[in-house]
C-alpha cells in the first residue's frame, strides 16, 4: 500500500517573525501566507531566519502548520 502521507516541500519567503520561533511565510506560487515553525535541527544548530529570507518548508497534506527545514 502506498503511503500518501508524505510531506509536501514548498519554497517561500518569510514575511513576518512571530513569538516562539513562529513565522508567516508567503509561498512563491502565491495565495495566503502560511504559519510555519523551525525544525528541531535548525533550532539545535541555532540557524537564524530573518524576514525576507527564502526558505524550504515541509507541509502536511492535511493542512495546518508548516515546518521550515532549510534556509536558502
Query: Taking 70 as the threshold, does the pLDDT of residue 3 lie above it?
Result: no
Residue-wise DSSP of the chain: -----PPEEEEEEEEEEETTTEEEEEETT-SS-EEEEE-HHHHHTT----TT-EEEEEE-TT-S-EEEEEE-
Give the domain 8-71 fold.
OB fold (Dihydrolipoamide Acetyltransferase, E2P) (2.40.50)
Q: Buried (b) or exposed (e) across 30-44, using 16+ Cβ within 10 A?
A: eeeebebbbeeebee
What's the pLDDT tens digit per position in 14-56?
999 999 999 999 999 988 999 999 999 999 999 999 999 999 9
Residue with cell 514548498: 10
> Among the residues of 1-72, which ranges form H helices?
40-44
The structural domains of the chain, with segments of one domain joined by +, span 8-71
Amino acid at each position: 500500500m502506498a503511503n500518501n502521507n508524505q510531506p509536501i516541500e514548498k519554497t517561500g519567503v518569510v514575511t513576518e517573525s512571530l513569538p516562539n520561533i513562529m513565522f508567516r511565510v508567503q509561498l512563491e506560487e502565491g495565495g495566503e501566507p502560511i504559519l510555519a515553525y523551525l525544525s528541531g535541527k535548525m533550532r539545535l544548530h541555532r540557524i537564524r531566519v530573518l524576514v525576507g529570507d527564502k526558505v524550504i518548508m515541509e507541509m502536511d497534506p492535511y493542512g495546518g502548520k508548516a515546518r521550515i527545514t532549510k534556509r536558502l
